[in-house]
Chain A
Protein backbone atom coordinates (compact mmCIF):
# COMPACT_ATOMS: atom_id res chain seq x y z
CA UNK A 1 0.00 0.00 0.00
CA UNK A 2 1.33 3.40 -0.96
CA UNK A 3 0.57 6.55 0.98
CA UNK A 4 -2.11 6.25 3.65
CA UNK A 5 -5.30 5.76 1.71
CA UNK A 6 -7.96 3.15 2.40
CA UNK A 7 -10.49 1.43 0.15
CA UNK A 8 -13.50 0.05 1.99
CA UNK A 9 -14.31 -3.59 1.09
CA UNK A 10 -11.40 -3.83 -1.30
CA UNK A 11 -11.18 -7.13 -3.18
CA UNK A 12 -8.42 -9.51 -2.10
CA UNK A 13 -6.36 -8.84 -5.22
CA UNK A 14 -6.28 -5.06 -4.58
CA UNK A 15 -2.66 -3.77 -4.46
CA UNK A 16 -1.25 -6.88 -6.19
CA UNK A 17 1.11 -6.37 -9.14
CA UNK A 18 -0.81 -7.21 -12.29
CA UNK A 19 1.81 -9.72 -13.44
CA UNK A 20 1.10 -11.72 -10.28
CA UNK A 21 -2.68 -11.74 -10.64
CA UNK A 22 -4.14 -15.13 -11.42
CA UNK A 23 -7.83 -15.53 -12.20
CA UNK A 24 -7.97 -18.91 -13.93
CA UNK A 25 -10.78 -19.58 -16.38
CA UNK A 26 -12.99 -22.61 -15.92
CA UNK A 27 -13.82 -24.81 -18.89
CA UNK A 28 -17.20 -23.06 -19.25
CA UNK A 29 -15.59 -19.64 -19.15
CA UNK A 30 -13.10 -20.66 -21.81
CA UNK A 31 -16.02 -21.71 -23.97
CA UNK A 32 -17.83 -18.46 -23.27
CA UNK A 33 -14.80 -16.40 -24.29
CA UNK A 34 -14.33 -18.48 -27.43
CA UNK A 35 -17.99 -17.91 -28.34
CA UNK A 36 -17.67 -14.15 -27.90
CA UNK A 37 -14.57 -14.12 -30.09
CA UNK A 38 -16.32 -16.23 -32.74
CA UNK A 39 -19.18 -13.76 -32.82
CA UNK A 40 -16.83 -10.78 -33.04
CA UNK A 41 -15.10 -12.50 -35.95
CA UNK A 42 -18.43 -13.13 -37.69
CA UNK A 43 -19.31 -9.48 -37.25
CA UNK A 44 -16.17 -8.26 -39.01
CA UNK A 45 -15.50 -11.00 -41.58
CA UNK A 46 -18.02 -9.67 -44.07
CA UNK A 47 -16.35 -6.26 -44.27
CA UNK A 48 -13.67 -5.37 -46.81
CA UNK A 49 -11.21 -4.18 -44.18
CA UNK A 50 -10.48 -5.57 -40.75
CA UNK A 51 -11.05 -3.12 -37.88
CA UNK A 52 -7.30 -2.79 -37.45
CA UNK A 53 -6.70 -2.04 -41.14
CA UNK A 54 -9.52 0.48 -41.02
CA UNK A 55 -8.19 2.10 -37.84
CA UNK A 56 -4.68 2.47 -39.26
CA UNK A 57 -6.05 3.91 -42.50
CA UNK A 58 -8.35 6.27 -40.62
CA UNK A 59 -5.65 7.78 -38.44
CA UNK A 60 -3.36 8.09 -41.49
CA UNK A 61 -6.09 9.88 -43.46
CA UNK A 62 -6.16 7.13 -46.08
CA UNK A 63 -9.10 5.50 -47.85
CA UNK A 64 -11.34 3.22 -45.79
CA UNK A 65 -14.22 0.92 -46.69
CA UNK A 66 -16.54 2.47 -44.12
CA UNK A 67 -16.48 4.91 -41.23
CA UNK A 68 -14.85 3.51 -38.12
CA UNK A 69 -17.40 3.22 -35.32
CA UNK A 70 -16.83 2.60 -31.63
CA UNK A 71 -18.78 2.70 -28.41
CA UNK A 72 -17.60 3.36 -24.90
CA UNK A 73 -19.68 0.95 -22.82
CA UNK A 74 -17.40 1.41 -19.82
CA UNK A 75 -17.73 -0.93 -16.91
CA UNK A 76 -21.23 0.22 -16.10
CA UNK A 77 -22.95 -0.36 -19.44
CA UNK A 78 -20.93 -3.37 -20.55
CA UNK A 79 -22.17 -5.36 -17.57
CA UNK A 80 -25.69 -4.94 -18.91
CA UNK A 81 -24.75 -6.64 -22.16
CA UNK A 82 -23.40 -9.51 -20.08
CA UNK A 83 -26.55 -10.10 -18.03
CA UNK A 84 -29.01 -9.44 -20.83
CA UNK A 85 -30.19 -6.12 -19.38
CA UNK A 86 -31.61 -7.81 -16.29
CA UNK A 87 -29.91 -5.30 -13.96
CA UNK A 88 -28.97 -8.35 -11.90
CA UNK A 89 -25.18 -8.31 -12.13
CA UNK A 90 -24.11 -4.83 -11.07
CA UNK A 91 -21.19 -2.62 -12.13
CA UNK A 92 -19.70 -3.10 -8.65
CA UNK A 93 -19.30 -6.81 -9.45
CA UNK A 94 -17.31 -5.95 -12.54
CA UNK A 95 -15.17 -3.47 -10.61
CA UNK A 96 -14.31 -6.15 -8.07
CA UNK A 97 -13.88 -9.06 -10.48
CA UNK A 98 -11.61 -8.46 -13.47
CA UNK A 99 -12.89 -11.63 -15.18
CA UNK A 100 -16.41 -10.14 -15.27
CA UNK A 101 -14.89 -6.89 -16.55
CA UNK A 102 -13.29 -8.85 -19.42
CA UNK A 103 -16.36 -10.92 -20.26
CA UNK A 104 -18.64 -7.89 -20.12
CA UNK A 105 -16.53 -6.07 -22.69
CA UNK A 106 -16.28 -9.08 -24.98
CA UNK A 107 -20.06 -9.47 -24.73
CA UNK A 108 -20.55 -5.78 -25.58
CA UNK A 109 -18.34 -5.91 -28.67
CA UNK A 110 -20.01 -9.12 -29.83
CA UNK A 111 -23.48 -7.74 -29.09
CA UNK A 112 -23.19 -4.32 -30.70
CA UNK A 113 -20.65 -4.94 -33.46
CA UNK A 114 -18.52 -1.87 -32.76
CA UNK A 115 -15.20 -2.00 -34.55
CA UNK A 116 -12.65 -1.61 -31.77
CA UNK A 117 -12.95 -2.24 -28.02
CA UNK A 118 -12.12 0.92 -26.11
CA UNK A 119 -11.64 -0.04 -22.48
CA UNK A 120 -12.39 2.77 -20.11
CA UNK A 121 -10.39 3.27 -16.94
CA UNK A 122 -11.18 0.80 -14.17
CA UNK A 123 -9.98 3.09 -11.42
CA UNK A 124 -9.43 6.79 -10.82
CA UNK A 125 -6.98 6.02 -8.00
CA UNK A 126 -9.61 6.74 -5.36
CA UNK A 127 -7.50 5.63 -2.40
CA UNK A 128 -4.04 5.75 -3.96
CA UNK A 129 -3.56 9.45 -3.20
CA UNK A 130 -4.20 9.12 0.52
CA UNK A 131 -7.99 9.27 0.54
CA UNK A 132 -10.71 7.11 2.04
CA UNK A 133 -12.75 5.47 -0.70
CA UNK A 134 -15.59 3.08 -1.26
CA UNK A 135 -17.21 1.04 -3.99
CA UNK A 136 -20.61 2.11 -5.32
CA UNK A 137 -23.18 -0.34 -6.63
CA UNK A 138 -23.61 1.09 -10.10
CA UNK A 139 -20.64 3.35 -10.69
CA UNK A 140 -16.91 3.81 -10.38
CA UNK A 141 -15.57 3.62 -6.84
CA UNK A 142 -15.32 7.07 -5.30
CA UNK A 143 -13.12 8.93 -2.85
CA UNK A 144 -15.25 9.94 0.12
CA UNK A 145 -12.63 11.84 2.08
CA UNK A 146 -9.38 13.37 0.88
CA UNK A 147 -6.29 12.36 2.83
CA UNK A 148 -4.43 15.49 1.78
CA UNK A 149 -5.07 18.29 4.26
CA UNK A 150 -1.87 20.34 4.20
CA UNK A 151 0.90 21.34 1.79
CA UNK A 152 3.17 18.98 3.76
CA UNK A 153 0.81 16.12 2.92
CA UNK A 154 1.34 16.87 -0.75
CA UNK A 155 5.11 16.79 -0.24
CA UNK A 156 5.01 13.36 1.35
CA UNK A 157 2.63 11.82 -1.17
CA UNK A 158 4.26 8.98 -3.05
CA UNK A 159 3.25 8.84 -6.71
CA UNK A 160 1.30 5.56 -7.08
CA UNK A 161 2.49 2.85 -9.44
CA UNK A 162 -0.38 1.68 -11.69
CA UNK A 163 1.40 -1.64 -12.26
CA UNK A 164 0.84 -2.68 -8.66
CA UNK A 165 -1.26 -0.20 -6.68
CA UNK A 166 -4.98 -0.19 -5.98
CA UNK A 167 -7.37 -1.50 -8.62
CA UNK A 168 -5.21 -0.52 -11.62
CA UNK A 169 -3.67 -4.03 -11.85
CA UNK A 170 -7.16 -5.43 -12.49
CA UNK A 171 -7.45 -3.34 -15.65
CA UNK A 172 -3.95 -4.29 -16.82
CA UNK A 173 -4.78 -7.98 -16.28
CA UNK A 174 -7.99 -7.56 -18.25
CA UNK A 175 -6.27 -5.90 -21.22
CA UNK A 176 -3.55 -8.53 -21.25
CA UNK A 177 -6.16 -11.28 -21.28
CA UNK A 178 -8.32 -9.63 -23.94
CA UNK A 179 -5.26 -9.49 -26.19
CA UNK A 180 -4.51 -13.14 -25.36
CA UNK A 181 -8.07 -14.18 -26.18
CA UNK A 182 -8.02 -12.33 -29.50
CA UNK A 183 -4.74 -14.02 -30.37
CA UNK A 184 -5.96 -17.47 -29.34
CA UNK A 185 -9.18 -17.25 -31.31
CA UNK A 186 -7.86 -15.79 -34.53
CA UNK A 187 -8.52 -12.10 -33.99
CA UNK A 188 -4.98 -11.12 -33.05
CA UNK A 189 -4.19 -9.39 -36.34
CA UNK A 190 -7.71 -8.20 -36.97
CA UNK A 191 -8.71 -6.06 -34.07
CA UNK A 192 -6.69 -3.72 -31.86
CA UNK A 193 -7.40 -3.14 -28.19
CA UNK A 194 -7.83 0.44 -27.09
CA UNK A 195 -7.57 1.55 -23.49
CA UNK A 196 -8.05 4.74 -21.58
CA UNK A 197 -5.73 6.11 -18.92
CA UNK A 198 -8.39 8.48 -17.65
CA UNK A 199 -8.44 10.79 -15.88
CA UNK A 200 -5.91 13.42 -17.00
CA UNK A 201 -3.47 15.03 -14.55
CA UNK A 202 -5.60 18.09 -13.75
CA UNK A 203 -8.64 15.96 -12.94
CA UNK A 204 -6.72 13.49 -10.77
CA UNK A 205 -5.91 16.39 -8.43
CA UNK A 206 -9.61 16.95 -7.82
CA UNK A 207 -11.07 13.48 -8.19
CA UNK A 208 -8.47 11.49 -6.35
CA UNK A 209 -6.18 13.76 -4.34
CA UNK A 210 -7.92 16.87 -2.99
CA UNK A 211 -11.63 16.44 -3.66
CA UNK A 212 -13.34 17.97 -6.67
CA UNK A 213 -14.08 21.44 -5.39
CA UNK A 214 -10.70 22.08 -3.80
CA UNK A 215 -9.01 20.59 -6.85
CA UNK A 216 -11.02 22.68 -9.28
CA UNK A 217 -10.29 25.93 -7.49
CA UNK A 218 -6.67 25.27 -6.52
CA UNK A 219 -5.09 26.77 -9.68
CA UNK A 220 -6.76 30.10 -8.93
CA UNK A 221 -6.64 30.09 -5.14
CA UNK A 222 -3.32 28.42 -4.43
CA UNK A 223 -1.27 28.18 -7.63
CA UNK A 224 2.02 27.20 -5.96
CA UNK A 225 0.46 24.21 -4.28
CA UNK A 226 -1.45 23.38 -7.48
CA UNK A 227 1.76 23.09 -9.46
CA UNK A 228 3.21 20.71 -6.84
CA UNK A 229 0.09 18.58 -7.01
CA UNK A 230 -0.25 18.44 -10.76
CA UNK A 231 3.47 17.69 -11.08
CA UNK A 232 2.82 14.44 -9.19
CA UNK A 233 -0.38 13.54 -11.03
CA UNK A 234 1.33 14.18 -14.38
CA UNK A 235 4.12 11.78 -13.42
CA UNK A 236 1.48 9.24 -12.51
CA UNK A 237 -0.55 9.69 -15.71
CA UNK A 238 2.56 9.12 -17.82
CA UNK A 239 3.23 5.87 -15.99
CA UNK A 240 -0.39 4.79 -16.37
CA UNK A 241 -0.24 5.28 -20.15
CA UNK A 242 3.02 3.31 -20.30
CA UNK A 243 1.60 0.50 -18.13
CA UNK A 244 -1.42 0.11 -20.40
CA UNK A 245 0.86 -0.39 -23.37
CA UNK A 246 3.02 -2.85 -21.42
CA UNK A 247 -0.14 -4.86 -20.70
CA UNK A 248 -0.91 -5.03 -24.41
CA UNK A 249 -3.05 -2.01 -25.33
CA UNK A 250 -2.57 -1.02 -28.97
CA UNK A 251 -4.26 2.35 -28.69
CA UNK A 252 -3.85 4.46 -25.54
CA UNK A 253 -5.94 7.55 -25.05
CA UNK A 254 -7.17 9.78 -22.27
CA UNK A 255 -10.46 11.49 -21.66
CA UNK A 256 -10.41 15.27 -21.27
CA UNK A 257 -12.55 18.19 -20.24
CA UNK A 258 -10.39 21.32 -20.28
CA UNK A 259 -13.35 23.66 -20.14
CA UNK A 260 -14.00 23.18 -16.45
CA UNK A 261 -11.54 26.07 -16.27
CA UNK A 262 -11.43 29.35 -18.16
CA UNK A 263 -9.09 29.45 -21.17
CA UNK A 264 -6.73 31.75 -19.25
CA UNK A 265 -6.47 29.47 -16.20
CA UNK A 266 -6.06 26.49 -18.49
CA UNK A 267 -3.26 28.25 -20.36
CA UNK A 268 -1.43 29.48 -17.26
CA UNK A 269 -1.73 26.46 -15.00
CA UNK A 270 -2.75 23.30 -16.85
CA UNK A 271 -1.96 23.12 -20.58
CA UNK A 272 1.78 22.55 -20.15
CA UNK A 273 1.12 19.37 -18.16
CA UNK A 274 -1.28 18.07 -20.81
CA UNK A 275 1.46 18.60 -23.37
CA UNK A 276 4.04 16.77 -21.27
CA UNK A 277 1.65 13.89 -20.54
CA UNK A 278 0.74 13.48 -24.21
CA UNK A 279 4.37 13.45 -25.32
CA UNK A 280 5.81 11.24 -22.60
CA UNK A 281 2.86 8.79 -22.39
CA UNK A 282 2.85 8.89 -25.32
CA UNK A 283 -0.84 9.23 -26.05
CA UNK A 284 -2.54 8.13 -29.26
CA UNK A 285 -5.56 10.30 -28.67
CA UNK A 286 -7.73 12.51 -26.48
CA UNK A 287 -11.44 11.97 -25.98
CA UNK A 288 -13.23 15.17 -24.99
CA UNK A 289 -16.52 15.80 -23.24
CA UNK A 290 -18.14 19.23 -23.03
CA UNK A 291 -17.62 22.24 -25.27
CA UNK A 292 -13.89 22.71 -25.87
CA UNK A 293 -13.99 25.31 -28.62
CA UNK A 294 -12.27 27.98 -26.53
CA UNK A 295 -9.51 25.65 -25.32
CA UNK A 296 -8.26 23.46 -28.17
CA UNK A 297 -5.84 25.96 -29.67
CA UNK A 298 -4.23 26.47 -26.26
CA UNK A 299 -3.83 22.69 -25.88
CA UNK A 300 -2.35 22.53 -29.38
CA UNK A 301 0.10 25.34 -28.59
CA UNK A 302 1.18 23.42 -25.46
CA UNK A 303 2.03 20.39 -27.60
CA UNK A 304 -0.84 18.23 -26.34
CA UNK A 305 -1.71 17.14 -29.86
CA UNK A 306 1.79 16.62 -31.26
CA UNK A 307 2.05 12.85 -30.71
CA UNK A 308 -1.61 11.92 -31.01
CA UNK A 309 -3.30 10.30 -33.99
CA UNK A 310 -6.88 11.23 -33.24
CA UNK A 311 -9.01 13.69 -31.34
CA UNK A 312 -12.46 12.67 -30.22
CA UNK A 313 -14.91 15.45 -29.43
CA UNK A 314 -18.40 15.04 -28.07
CA UNK A 315 -20.83 17.06 -30.14
CA UNK A 316 -21.21 19.71 -27.43
CA UNK A 317 -18.19 21.12 -29.27
CA UNK A 318 -19.54 22.21 -32.66
CA UNK A 319 -18.89 19.48 -35.21
CA UNK A 320 -18.07 21.81 -38.10
CA UNK A 321 -15.56 23.74 -36.02
CA UNK A 322 -13.80 20.56 -34.86
CA UNK A 323 -13.72 19.12 -38.39
CA UNK A 324 -12.01 22.33 -39.49
CA UNK A 325 -9.65 22.37 -36.53
CA UNK A 326 -8.58 18.73 -36.88
CA UNK A 327 -8.01 19.25 -40.60
CA UNK A 328 -5.75 22.20 -39.86
CA UNK A 329 -3.60 20.15 -37.51
CA UNK A 330 -3.95 17.01 -39.66
CA UNK A 331 -5.40 14.67 -37.06
CA UNK A 332 -8.22 12.18 -37.42
CA UNK A 333 -11.48 13.39 -35.92
CA UNK A 334 -13.81 11.04 -34.08
CA UNK A 335 -17.22 12.61 -33.66
CA UNK A 336 -18.76 11.38 -30.44
CA UNK A 337 -22.48 11.47 -29.79
CA UNK A 338 -23.03 12.06 -26.08
CA UNK A 339 -25.61 9.99 -24.22
CA UNK A 340 -28.37 12.53 -24.68
CA UNK A 341 -28.03 12.22 -28.47
CA UNK A 342 -28.50 8.48 -28.17
CA UNK A 343 -31.40 8.79 -25.74
CA UNK A 344 -33.65 10.25 -28.35
CA UNK A 345 -36.16 8.90 -30.84
CA UNK A 346 -34.62 6.89 -33.65
CA UNK A 347 -35.57 9.19 -36.58
CA UNK A 348 -33.82 12.07 -34.79
CA UNK A 349 -30.80 9.87 -34.09
CA UNK A 350 -30.70 8.80 -37.74
CA UNK A 351 -30.83 12.41 -38.93
CA UNK A 352 -28.08 13.37 -36.47
CA UNK A 353 -25.79 10.56 -37.62
CA UNK A 354 -26.33 11.48 -41.29
CA UNK A 355 -25.64 15.14 -40.62
CA UNK A 356 -22.43 14.40 -38.73
CA UNK A 357 -21.22 11.95 -41.39
CA UNK A 358 -21.80 14.66 -43.99
CA UNK A 359 -19.71 17.18 -42.07
CA UNK A 360 -17.07 14.68 -40.98
CA UNK A 361 -16.40 13.32 -44.45
CA UNK A 362 -16.29 16.71 -46.11
CA UNK A 363 -12.49 16.92 -45.94
CA UNK A 364 -10.82 14.02 -47.78
CA UNK A 365 -7.31 13.18 -46.62
CA UNK A 366 -7.99 13.51 -42.91
CA UNK A 367 -9.53 10.66 -40.97
CA UNK A 368 -13.03 10.53 -39.59
CA UNK A 369 -14.74 8.13 -37.21
CA UNK A 370 -17.82 8.07 -35.02
CA UNK A 371 -18.42 7.07 -31.43
CA UNK A 372 -20.88 7.03 -28.59
CA UNK A 373 -19.52 8.40 -25.33
CA UNK A 374 -20.24 7.19 -21.83
CA UNK A 375 -23.47 5.34 -22.46
CA UNK A 376 -26.10 6.07 -19.86
CA UNK A 377 -26.83 2.99 -17.74
CA UNK A 378 -30.52 3.01 -18.66
CA UNK A 379 -30.08 3.46 -22.41
CA UNK A 380 -32.19 0.88 -24.24
CA UNK A 381 -29.91 -1.42 -26.29
CA UNK A 382 -32.09 -0.68 -29.33
CA UNK A 383 -30.74 2.88 -29.35
CA UNK A 384 -27.12 1.69 -29.35
CA UNK A 385 -27.97 -0.86 -32.06
CA UNK A 386 -29.57 1.89 -34.11
CA UNK A 387 -26.55 4.18 -33.80
CA UNK A 388 -24.18 1.44 -35.01
CA UNK A 389 -26.59 0.48 -37.79
CA UNK A 390 -26.91 4.07 -39.05
CA UNK A 391 -23.13 4.62 -39.09
CA UNK A 392 -22.57 1.36 -40.95
CA UNK A 393 -25.46 2.05 -43.35
CA UNK A 394 -24.64 5.67 -44.21
CA UNK A 395 -20.89 5.44 -43.59
CA UNK A 396 -19.98 3.11 -46.46
CA UNK A 397 -17.55 4.64 -48.96
CA UNK A 398 -18.19 6.20 -51.34
CA UNK A 399 -20.43 8.17 -49.03
CA UNK A 400 -23.84 8.69 -50.58
CA UNK A 401 -26.26 10.45 -48.30
Chain B
Protein backbone atom coordinates (compact mmCIF):
# COMPACT_ATOMS: atom_id res chain seq x y z
CA UNK B 1 0.00 0.00 0.00
CA UNK B 2 1.40 3.38 -0.99
CA UNK B 3 1.56 6.27 1.44
CA UNK B 4 -1.40 7.84 -0.33
CA UNK B 5 -3.49 4.70 -0.15
CA UNK B 6 -2.61 4.35 3.51
CA UNK B 7 -3.76 7.85 4.25
CA UNK B 8 -7.02 7.29 2.33
CA UNK B 9 -7.65 4.17 4.40
CA UNK B 10 -6.85 6.01 7.64
CA UNK B 11 -9.19 8.84 6.69
CA UNK B 12 -11.92 6.34 5.87
CA UNK B 13 -11.45 4.74 9.30
CA UNK B 14 -11.44 8.15 11.03
CA UNK B 15 -14.85 8.84 9.47
CA UNK B 16 -16.20 5.47 10.59
CA UNK B 17 -14.74 5.95 14.07
CA UNK B 18 -16.23 9.47 14.23
CA UNK B 19 -12.77 10.88 15.04
CA UNK B 20 -12.92 14.51 13.92
CA UNK B 21 -9.48 15.63 15.09
CA UNK B 22 -7.75 12.65 13.45
CA UNK B 23 -9.68 13.24 10.21
CA UNK B 24 -8.57 16.91 10.18
CA UNK B 25 -4.96 15.92 10.93
CA UNK B 26 -4.97 13.34 8.10
CA UNK B 27 -6.49 15.83 5.65
CA UNK B 28 -3.73 18.34 6.37
CA UNK B 29 -1.14 15.57 6.09
CA UNK B 30 -2.55 14.50 2.71
CA UNK B 31 -2.49 18.07 1.43
CA UNK B 32 1.11 18.42 2.61
CA UNK B 33 1.87 15.32 0.55
CA UNK B 34 0.34 17.12 -2.47
CA UNK B 35 -2.61 14.73 -2.67
CA UNK B 36 -5.27 16.40 -4.84
CA UNK B 37 -8.25 17.50 -2.71
CA UNK B 38 -10.61 15.68 -5.06
CA UNK B 39 -8.82 12.39 -4.26
CA UNK B 40 -9.07 13.11 -0.54
CA UNK B 41 -12.81 13.54 -1.04
CA UNK B 42 -13.48 10.57 -3.29
CA UNK B 43 -10.91 8.06 -2.01
CA UNK B 44 -10.91 8.81 1.70
CA UNK B 45 -14.01 10.64 2.84
CA UNK B 46 -16.58 9.12 0.49
CA UNK B 47 -15.70 5.46 1.20
CA UNK B 48 -15.97 6.24 4.92
CA UNK B 49 -19.43 7.71 4.40
CA UNK B 50 -20.49 4.67 2.41
CA UNK B 51 -19.53 2.36 5.28
CA UNK B 52 -21.33 4.63 7.76
CA UNK B 53 -24.44 4.48 5.58
CA UNK B 54 -24.32 0.69 5.40
CA UNK B 55 -23.94 0.48 9.18
CA UNK B 56 -26.94 2.78 9.66
CA UNK B 57 -29.01 0.63 7.32
CA UNK B 58 -28.01 -2.47 9.31
CA UNK B 59 -28.96 -0.86 12.64
CA UNK B 60 -25.29 -0.80 13.71
CA UNK B 61 -25.11 2.99 13.56
CA UNK B 62 -27.65 5.31 15.16
CA UNK B 63 -28.79 8.91 14.77
CA UNK B 64 -26.06 10.30 17.01
CA UNK B 65 -23.46 8.37 15.00
CA UNK B 66 -24.73 10.07 11.86
CA UNK B 67 -24.55 13.47 13.53
CA UNK B 68 -20.94 12.82 14.50
CA UNK B 69 -20.02 11.44 11.08
CA UNK B 70 -21.62 14.59 9.67
CA UNK B 71 -19.41 16.71 11.91
CA UNK B 72 -16.28 14.84 10.77
CA UNK B 73 -17.30 15.33 7.14
CA UNK B 74 -17.97 19.02 7.65
CA UNK B 75 -14.57 19.50 9.32
CA UNK B 76 -12.79 17.84 6.37
CA UNK B 77 -14.88 19.70 3.81
CA UNK B 78 -14.17 23.05 5.49
CA UNK B 79 -10.50 22.41 4.64
CA UNK B 80 -10.79 20.99 1.14
CA UNK B 81 -13.85 22.73 -0.28
CA UNK B 82 -12.11 26.07 -0.99
CA UNK B 83 -9.31 24.11 -2.69
CA UNK B 84 -11.80 22.12 -4.77
CA UNK B 85 -13.46 25.34 -5.86
CA UNK B 86 -10.21 27.08 -6.78
CA UNK B 87 -9.02 23.95 -8.62
CA UNK B 88 -12.41 23.88 -10.40
CA UNK B 89 -12.65 20.19 -9.60
CA UNK B 90 -15.57 18.37 -11.11
CA UNK B 91 -18.59 18.39 -8.85
CA UNK B 92 -21.23 15.71 -8.75
CA UNK B 93 -23.92 18.37 -8.96
CA UNK B 94 -25.14 21.59 -7.41
CA UNK B 95 -27.82 21.41 -4.71
CA UNK B 96 -29.70 24.25 -3.02
CA UNK B 97 -31.01 22.96 0.29
CA UNK B 98 -33.11 24.33 3.14
CA UNK B 99 -35.87 23.64 5.65
CA UNK B 100 -39.33 24.64 4.48
CA UNK B 101 -41.37 27.54 5.82
CA UNK B 102 -42.91 26.82 9.22
CA UNK B 103 -40.31 24.23 10.18
CA UNK B 104 -37.25 25.11 12.26
CA UNK B 105 -35.51 21.72 12.35
CA UNK B 106 -32.01 21.52 10.97
CA UNK B 107 -30.29 18.40 12.30
CA UNK B 108 -31.41 16.18 9.43
CA UNK B 109 -30.71 18.85 6.87
CA UNK B 110 -27.21 19.41 8.22
CA UNK B 111 -26.39 15.71 8.14
CA UNK B 112 -27.63 15.52 4.55
CA UNK B 113 -25.48 18.53 3.65
CA UNK B 114 -22.41 16.82 5.08
CA UNK B 115 -23.20 13.61 3.23
CA UNK B 116 -23.78 15.40 -0.07
CA UNK B 117 -20.57 17.41 0.29
CA UNK B 118 -18.73 14.23 1.13
CA UNK B 119 -20.06 12.70 -2.06
CA UNK B 120 -18.75 15.58 -4.15
CA UNK B 121 -21.85 17.77 -4.43
CA UNK B 122 -21.63 21.54 -4.23
CA UNK B 123 -24.26 22.38 -1.61
CA UNK B 124 -25.74 25.80 -0.90
CA UNK B 125 -27.60 25.91 2.42
CA UNK B 126 -30.29 28.59 2.66
CA UNK B 127 -31.20 27.73 6.28
CA UNK B 128 -34.42 26.97 8.13
CA UNK B 129 -38.00 28.32 7.84
CA UNK B 130 -37.54 29.32 4.21
CA UNK B 131 -40.42 30.31 1.93
CA UNK B 132 -40.66 28.60 -1.46
CA UNK B 133 -39.51 31.67 -3.38
CA UNK B 134 -36.18 31.70 -1.51
CA UNK B 135 -35.40 28.15 -2.65
CA UNK B 136 -36.18 29.06 -6.24
CA UNK B 137 -34.39 32.43 -6.27
CA UNK B 138 -31.22 30.82 -4.92
CA UNK B 139 -31.50 27.91 -7.38
CA UNK B 140 -31.76 30.39 -10.27
CA UNK B 141 -28.89 32.49 -8.93
CA UNK B 142 -26.45 29.57 -8.65
CA UNK B 143 -27.88 27.53 -11.52
CA UNK B 144 -28.61 24.57 -9.26
CA UNK B 145 -29.29 21.08 -10.55
CA UNK B 146 -31.45 20.08 -7.61
CA UNK B 147 -33.47 21.73 -4.86
CA UNK B 148 -33.55 19.80 -1.58
CA UNK B 149 -36.36 20.60 0.86
CA UNK B 150 -36.37 19.32 4.42
CA UNK B 151 -39.69 19.08 6.29
CA UNK B 152 -39.68 17.14 9.53
CA UNK B 153 -43.04 18.39 10.78
CA UNK B 154 -45.79 16.44 9.02
CA UNK B 155 -47.96 19.50 8.70
CA UNK B 156 -45.32 21.45 6.78
CA UNK B 157 -44.86 18.85 4.05
CA UNK B 158 -47.26 20.70 1.76
CA UNK B 159 -44.65 23.45 1.45
CA UNK B 160 -42.84 21.13 -0.97
CA UNK B 161 -45.79 21.62 -3.31
CA UNK B 162 -45.32 25.40 -3.01
CA UNK B 163 -41.69 24.95 -4.08
CA UNK B 164 -42.71 22.79 -7.03
CA UNK B 165 -45.23 25.44 -8.12
CA UNK B 166 -42.72 28.26 -7.63
CA UNK B 167 -40.19 26.33 -9.75
CA UNK B 168 -42.76 25.96 -12.52
CA UNK B 169 -43.61 29.67 -12.39
CA UNK B 170 -39.92 30.49 -12.66
CA UNK B 171 -39.56 28.14 -15.64
CA UNK B 172 -36.86 25.97 -14.04
CA UNK B 173 -38.86 22.85 -13.18
CA UNK B 174 -37.94 20.96 -16.36
CA UNK B 175 -34.21 21.17 -15.77
CA UNK B 176 -34.10 21.26 -11.96
CA UNK B 177 -34.79 18.28 -9.73
CA UNK B 178 -36.78 18.51 -6.50
CA UNK B 179 -36.07 16.15 -3.65
CA UNK B 180 -37.52 16.30 -0.15
CA UNK B 181 -36.73 14.64 3.12
CA UNK B 182 -37.97 14.06 6.63
CA UNK B 183 -39.83 11.48 8.69
CA UNK B 184 -42.79 9.97 6.89
CA UNK B 185 -41.79 11.31 3.48
CA UNK B 186 -42.51 8.18 1.51
CA UNK B 187 -42.02 8.26 -2.23
CA UNK B 188 -45.81 8.39 -2.76
CA UNK B 189 -46.28 11.30 -0.37
CA UNK B 190 -43.36 13.19 -1.90
CA UNK B 191 -44.63 12.66 -5.43
CA UNK B 192 -48.07 13.79 -4.30
CA UNK B 193 -46.47 17.10 -3.39
CA UNK B 194 -44.70 17.36 -6.74
CA UNK B 195 -41.21 16.16 -5.76
CA UNK B 196 -39.14 13.84 -7.92
CA UNK B 197 -37.83 11.81 -5.01
CA UNK B 198 -37.60 11.67 -1.22
CA UNK B 199 -35.35 10.32 1.49
CA UNK B 200 -36.53 9.43 4.99
CA UNK B 201 -33.02 9.60 6.41
CA UNK B 202 -29.69 11.13 5.40
CA UNK B 203 -28.33 8.01 3.76
CA UNK B 204 -31.42 7.50 1.67
CA UNK B 205 -31.35 11.19 0.76
CA UNK B 206 -27.78 10.81 -0.52
CA UNK B 207 -28.60 7.76 -2.63
CA UNK B 208 -31.74 9.34 -4.06
CA UNK B 209 -29.93 12.62 -4.85
CA UNK B 210 -27.21 10.72 -6.70
CA UNK B 211 -29.86 8.78 -8.64
CA UNK B 212 -31.80 11.94 -9.45
CA UNK B 213 -28.61 13.65 -10.63
CA UNK B 214 -27.90 10.74 -12.95
CA UNK B 215 -31.42 11.02 -14.35
CA UNK B 216 -31.09 14.77 -14.89
CA UNK B 217 -27.74 14.35 -16.64
CA UNK B 218 -29.25 11.74 -18.94
CA UNK B 219 -31.96 14.20 -20.07
Contacts and interface: CB of A to CB of B under 8 A. Distances in A.
Interface of A: 76, 91, 136-139, 142, 144, 212-213, 216-217, 220, 259-262, 265, 291, 293-294, 338-340, 343-344, 374-378
Contacts of A138: 102, 153, 155-156
Contacts of A378: 154-155, 157-158, 189
B194 interface: no
14 contacts: A76-B155, A137-B155, A142-B104, A213-B107, A217-B68, A261-B63, A293-B59, A294-B59, A339-B154, A339-B184, A343-B188, A344-B188, A377-B155, A377-B157
B65 A262 contact: yes
Smallest CB-CB A-B distances: 10 pairs: A138-B155, A377-B155, A376-B154, A139-B153, A260-B63, A377-B154, A339-B184, A340-B186, A216-B64, A262-B62
A262 B64 contact: yes
A307 B65 CA distance: 31
A261 B61 CA distance: 9
A212 B64 CA distance: 10
Contact of A343 (B62, B103, B189): B189
A339 B63 CA distance: 20
B130 to A, nearest CB: 14
Contacts, number: 79
Contacts of A340: 184, 186, 189, 200
Nearest to A266: B62
Contacts of B59: 259, 291, 293-294
A374 B182 CA distance: 14
Contact of B67 (A76, A136, A216): A216
Contacts of A376: 154, 157, 184, 189
A374 B155 CA distance: 11
Contacts of B61: 262
B64 A217 contact: yes
Contacts of B186: 340, 343-344
B104 A144 contact: yes
Contacts of B154: 76, 139, 339, 374-378
Interface string B100-116: 00111101001000000
Chain B, interface size category, equals 20 to 34
Nearest to A377: B155
B184 A343 contact: yes
A180 to B, nearest CB: 30
A265 B155 contact: no
B70 to A, nearest CB: 10
A142 B99 CA distance: 15
Nearest to B108: A212
Given A291-B59, A343-B188, A220 B102 contact: no
Contacts of A137: 102, 155
Given A91-B155, A376-B189, A261 B64 contact: yes
A344 B187 CA distance: 10
Interface in B93-149: 102-105, 107, 110
B68 A259 contact: no
A260 B56 CA distance: 11
A56 B62 CA distance: 36
Contacts of A265: 64
Interface in B43-87: 59, 61-65, 67-68
A138 B105 CA distance: 14
A377 B68 CA distance: 31
